[in-house]
Amino acid sequence: MKNKYSKVDKTRILLIYTGGTIGMVKDYDSGALKAFDFNKLISNIPELGQLDCAIDSITFDVPIDSSNMNIEHWVNIATIIEKHYDSHEGFVVLHGSDTMSYTSSALSYMLENLQKPVIFTGSQLPIGDLRTDAKENLITSIQIAALREDNKPVVQEVGLYFEYKLYRANRTTKINAEHFEAFASLNYPALIESGVHLKVNREYLLRPNTAKRLKVHKEMDQNVVIIKLFPGFNQTVLHSILNSPNLKAVVLETYGSGNAPTEEWFALELKKAMERNIFLINVTQCSGGSVLMGRYETSKHLQKLQIINGKDITTEAAITKLMYLLGNNISPKLFKTIYETSLRGEMQ
Cβ–Cβ < 8 Å for 205, 115: no
CA 6 to chain centre: 29
Cβ–Cβ < 8 Å for 251, 319: yes
Is residue 132 packed enough to be buried (19+ CB in 10 Å), middle (13-18) or exposed (0-12)?
buried
pLDDT of residue 285 exceeding 80: yes
Q: How far, in Å, CA of 141 to CA of 55, rounded?
A: 12
Q: How far, in Å, CA of 309 to CA of 74, rounded?
A: 26
142 falls in which pLDDT band (50, 70, 90)? very high
The domains of the chain, with CATH numbers, are 2-216 (3.40.50.1170), 224-339 (3.40.50.40)
39 falls in which pLDDT band (50, 70, 90)? low
pLDDT of residue 8 exceeding 50: no
Per-residue pLDDT reduced to its tens digit, 212-257: 999 999 999 999 999 999 999 999 999 999 999 999 999 999 999 9
Q: How far, in Å, CA of 73 to CA of 79, rounded?
A: 10
Q: How far, in Å, CA of 15 to CA of 23, rounded?
A: 12
Query: What is the average per-residue pLDDT within 312-337?
Result: 98
Q: How far, in Å, CA of 110 to CA of 100, rounded?
A: 15
pLDDT of residue 7: 40
Cβ–Cβ < 8 Å for 97, 182: yes
Query: What is the average per-residue pLDDT within 118-143?
Result: 90
Cβ–Cβ < 8 Å for 119, 144: yes
pLDDT of residue 41: 64
Percent of the chain with pLDDT over 90: 80
Strand order in the sheet with 192-194: 2-4, 53-59, 11-17, 90-94, 118-121, 158-162, 165-168, 192-194, 198-200
Strand-pair category, 11-17 with 53-59: parallel
CA distance readout (Å), 274 to 285, 306, 314:
21, 9, 22
pLDDT of residue 58 exceeding 90: yes
Q: How far, in Å, CA of 244 to CA of 252, rounded?
A: 15
Pick the more confident residue, 222 or 125.
Answer: 222
pTM: 0.94
Query: What is the average per-residue pLDDT within 261-277?
Result: 98
pLDDT of residue 2: 57
pLDDT of residue 6 exceeding 50: no
Q: Which of 11, 18, 21, 59 is catalytic?
A: 21
Sequence-separated (6 or more) residues with CB below 8 Å from residue 22:
94, 95, 121, 122, 123, 126, 127, 134, 137, 138
Per-residue exposure over 65-85, b if at least 16 CB sit within 10 Å of its own CB, e if not: ebeebebebbbbbbebbeebb
pLDDT of residue 222: 98
pLDDT of residue 5: 41
Per-residue pLDDT reduced to its tens digit, 147-177: 999 989 999 999 999 999 999 999 999 999 9
Per the prediction, the chain carries an average pLDDT of: 93
23 falls in which pLDDT band (50, 70, 90)? confident
pLDDT of residue 16 exceeding 80: yes
78 falls in which pLDDT band (50, 70, 90)? very high
Q: At what angle do helices 332-339 and 315-327 cross, to 10 degrees?
A: 150
21 falls in which pLDDT band (50, 70, 90)? confident
CA 277 to chain centre: 27
Pick the more confident residue, 43 or 5.
Answer: 43
* Residue 254 is among the residues annotated as catalytic for this protein: no
